[in-house]
Amino acid sequence: MMNIENQPDSLLPIALFAGLSLAHRTRLCTLLHRKTFPAKAVVILEDHPGEVAYIIQSGTVKISVLGDEIDTILALLGPGEIVGEMSLIDCMSRSATAETQEECKLLWIDRSAFHDCLETIPLMAMNLVGILSRRVRLANARIQSMATLDIDGRVARQLLAFAHEYGVPSNEGVIIPLRLTQSDLAGLVGSSRESVNHAISSWKQKKQISVDGRYYITIHDSAALAKRCG
Amino acid sequence: MMNIENQPDSLLPIALFAGLSLAHRTRLCTLLHRKTFPAKAVVILEDHPGEVAYIIQSGTVKISVLGDEIDTILALLGPGEIVGEMSLIDCMSRSATAETQEECKLLWIDRSAFHDCLETIPLMAMNLVGILSRRVRLANARIQSMATLDIDGRVARQLLAFAHEYGVPSNEGVIIPLRLTQSDLAGLVGSSRESVNHAISSWKQKKQISVDGRYYITIHDSAALAKRCG
DNA sequence: CGCGAGATGTGATATTATTCACATCTCCGG
DNA sequence: CCGGAGATGTGAATAATATCACATCTCGCG
């Protein structure tokens, strides 16, 4: 729980801080604190009041809404993403739970510092508007796919979305660098683990995807997956 | 297509302009234009570039994504809501279609004026952040309900959401002042019109809701509906 | 004031996905 | 290098929902 001291350049690749002047970034360094969480740590707990927002420096964070036996996964967020800002904006309690998937290096900022920056750094407010707008677009696309596609289509769409978001190209296709279990995918598309297994298995047989090291999916034929959606 | 001239006070109840000084509101009046659309007018067309945003003064606007025979309804927006701002923010093309349900009085503002205001009126940027944050929350709640609830539960949740958003209390219960056909509800919850009919009919029989003038639903027993969701 | 388009009501059947019940696999920690 | 928890693979039974095919209703408009 130390502040990050003198690395204003490390803030540049973060969407929320994109384009900020050195002076602003230097000031932010005094307001941001570092904390490393182990794997499976609960960073934000549903229904609790929210006093801080986090920015992911490394690792991935799972955002989910817990239910009776069924957890709905709202997002898997990676480096550069901001987490938990909504409770700071509208003062409502946490609408979901956030937990680390692996060890994660996070930056955090408290409510008053966050508001202070938003009010005094117009560009940061504009960046936040862009980030939220993008999230609304993504959420709408997801609502549409849940309303119109069958399970296979929804899984295909989710994989393509991750590939587009985080995918790293290779000579074999696009690798999705996220720990993705079939249960996670089921939580993401709103279905049962078995149904997801059926989709994944059939695509594996057709060599359209493959799975390495148990979790990491590579898409070989994204056109074939795209045909399953819209 | 006239500008709205001298009614800066009419901007106060609009969330985007809440709390703005008289000077700012007066300036906005020179940038905002009035236009009245007839019923069923297409205000925004999917996949087209977006050059303006609209603010609803009266009437309701349906936001939907058109598909082969299945249209997904993303939202029904009423007075005070802003429509089409996302394309102005991120310069992407329209992600959905917006059409009036009845005759609607709308205000519109073009891209450059919108950006200009956001950059020069910090409070307006903050208001927009709040509006977008709320939309992300609502979208996430919807994703969760589509992932975990059966059809009856999703319809119940949608009706309660509308009641909470737009409902007007009466001695009989809460009236939802929106033209809501069963096809619309099906588009909102991602199901078939017939399934929605089954839910509505059974609730009507149990006197938990009633329908007046063909479209307007009154909720008599919101607790009973709430039990169908979470 | 009557007609017609759009909206609603309702079953029978077809399809899709869940649930349940296992067997098997594989990585990680002791 | 072994044991076990968590992850995957698979089929059969069951449940939920879509689809289809109508009949009926009702408001708005000519």
Rounded-to-integer distance, Cα B125 and Cα B96, Å:
23
Rounded-to-integer distance, Cα B166 and Cα B176, Å:
6
pLDDT by residue (tens digit) across B24-67? Answer: 999 999 999 999 999 999 999 999 999 999 999 999 999 999 98
The alpha-carbon gap from A81 to the nearest alpha carbon of chain B, in Å, equals 15
Nearest-CB residue to B72 (from A86, A122, A148): A148
pLDDT of the residue at A106: 96
pLDDT of the residue at A15: 97
Contact across the interface for A136 and B136, Cβ inside 8 Å: yes
Chain B residue with CA closest to A72: the answer is B144
Q: Measure A195 CA to D12 C1' (Å).
A: 15
Instruction: Give the DSSP per-residue string, A102-153.
Output: S-EEEEEEEHHHHHHHHHH-HHHHHHHHHHHHHHHHHHHHHHHHHHH--HHH
Nearest-CB residue to A95 (from B67, B130, B137): B137
Nearest-CB residue to B89 (from A90, A133, A139): A133
Cβ–Cβ contact A183 with B under 8 A: no
Q: How confident is the model at residue B19 (pLDDT cuts 50, 70, 90)?
A: very high
Strand D: which nucleotides have any atom within 7 A of a protein Cβ? 6-12, 16-21, 26-28
Cβ–Cβ contact B193 with A under 8 A: no
- Determine whether the distance from the CB of A179 to the nearest atom of strand D is below 7 Å: no
pLDDT by residue (tens digit) across B87-126? Answer: 999 999 999 999 999 999 999 999 999 999 999 999 999 9
pLDDT by residue (tens digit) across A175-217? Answer: 999 999 999 999 999 999 999 999 999 999 999 999 988 889 9
Instruction: Give the DSSP per-residue string, chain B.
Output: -EE--S-GGGGTTSGGGTT--HHHHHHHHHH-EEEEE-TT-EEE-TTS---EEEEEEES-EEEEE--SS-PEEEEEE-TT-EESHHHHHH-PPPSSEEEESS-EEEEEEEHHHHHHHHHH-HHHHHHHHHHHHHHHHHHHHHHHHHHH--HHHHHHHHHHHHHHHH-EEETTEEE--S---HHHHHHHHTS-HHHHHHHHHHHHHTTSEEEETTTEEEES-HHHHHHT--
Does A2 score more than 60 pLDDT?
no
Name chain B contacts of A89, Cβ cutoff 8 Å: 129-130, 133
Cβ–Cβ contact A147 with B under 8 A: yes
pTM higher than 0.85 for the full model? yes
Contact across the interface for B70 and A147, Cβ inside 8 Å: yes
Contact across the interface for A133 and B90, Cβ inside 8 Å: yes
Nearest-CB residue to A143 (from B125, B129, B139): B139
Cβ–Cβ contact A129 with B under 8 A: yes
Cβ–Cβ contact B126 with A under 8 A: yes
Chain B residue with CA closest to A118: the answer is B126
- Rounded average pLDDT over A45-64: 96
Does A226 score more than 80 pLDDT?
yes
Q: How confident is the model at residue A68 (pLDDT cuts 50, 70, 90)?
A: confident
pLDDT of the residue at B4: 58
Contact across the interface for A86 and B136, Cβ inside 8 Å: yes
Chain B residue with CA closest to A154: the answer is B147
pLDDT of the residue at A7: 79
pLDDT by residue (tens digit) across B188-223? Answer: 999 999 999 999 999 999 999 999 888 899 999 999
- Determine whether the distance from the CB of B214 to the nearest atom of strand C is below 7 Å: yes
Contact across the interface for A143 and B86, Cβ inside 8 Å: no
Mutate to test the interface with A, among B76, B93, B129 (most CBs of A within 10 A): B129
Cβ–Cβ contact A118 with B under 8 A: yes
Does A79 score more than 70 pLDDT?
yes
pLDDT of the residue at A69: 79
Name chain B contacts of A128, Cβ cutoff 8 Å: 129
Q: Measure A44 CA to C9 C1' (Å).
A: 47
Cβ–Cβ contact A186 with B under 8 A: no
- Please provide the distance, in angstroms rounded to a whole number, between the alpha carbons at the two ends of chain B: 46
Cβ–Cβ contact A190 with B under 8 A: yes
Q: Measure B197 CA to D24 C1' (Å).
A: 15
Cβ–Cβ contact B143 with A under 8 A: yes
pLDDT by residue (tens digit) across B145-185? Answer: 999 999 999 999 999 999 999 999 999 999 999 999 999 99
- Rounded average pLDDT over A112-116: 97
- Determine whether the distance from the CB of B69 to the nearest atom of strand C is below 7 Å: no
pLDDT of the residue at A214: 83
| Phi, psi angles (nearest 5°) of residue B166 | -125, -5
